[in-house]
Amino acid sequence: MLRQVFEFHRSMVQNLNSGLLTIDLAGEIIFANKVAARLLGLEVSDLLGKKVVDLFNKSEDGEAFLRECTRRGQRIDEWEAQLFHPQYRQITVGIDAAYMEDTRNSFQGIVLLLRNLTEVMEMRNQVKRMEQLALLGEMAAGLAHEVRNPLAGIKATAQLLEDFLMTNSTR
């Protein structure tokens, strides 16, 4: 029975939709599921023992994240970070973190859930570019309107002048 429960939990953790890492107080990865390894472009065995700050594109970002995790001693929701990926150079991930304690309230580690936000960020950037293009289009339309107004006045004046000259030349 105990073995079945263990296998059930192992399967559940390995098949989450999110990457799962557990780190100790020193910031070393002590557990990684296969989704986290795939997300980071590494093997599970390559992640174990690695410092979590080494996953960040900028080590100061990783250090700030680790400080925040250990300082709070509570949950962190939706921390956006740029992590290193061997194939893509970097990926944007959302990280949720929870402080783990045992029954005596002793620190056991920090659980990290990772979600790939690279596509979401690309869509955000695309929407931002489209908004900028729409704004540029509005500005161009406004500019065209401002140019047409004096041209219409000049055209009307030229027409009056032409009419005036025509009537004076026929006399």
Contact 70, 95 (CB under 8 A): no
Task: Provide the residue ranges of all domains of the chain, joining segments of one domain with +.
Answer: 2-116, 118-171
- pLDDT score recorded for residue 113: 93
Instruction: Give, for all 171 residues of the chain, the pLDDT tens digit.
Output: 888 887 887 888 787 888 999 999 888 999 999 999 999 999 999 999 999 999 988 878 888 888 888 776 668 888 888 888 888 778 889 999 988 888 888 878 899 999 988 777 677 778 788 788 777 777 777 777 676 677 677 777 778 777 777 777 665
In 3D, which of 71, 92, 70 has the Cα closest to residue 80? 92
| pTM listed for this prediction | 0.66
- pLDDT score recorded for residue 38: 92
In 3D, which of 96, 105, 107 has the Cα closest to residue 70? 107
- pLDDT score recorded for residue 50: 94
Report the CATH number of the 2-116 domain: 3.30.450.20
Partners of residue 79 on adjacent β-strands: 95
Burial (0-12, 13-18, 19+ Cβ within 10 Å), 84: middle
Cα 43 from Cα 152, distance rounded (Å): 70
CA torsion angle 41 45 49 51 (round to 10): 0
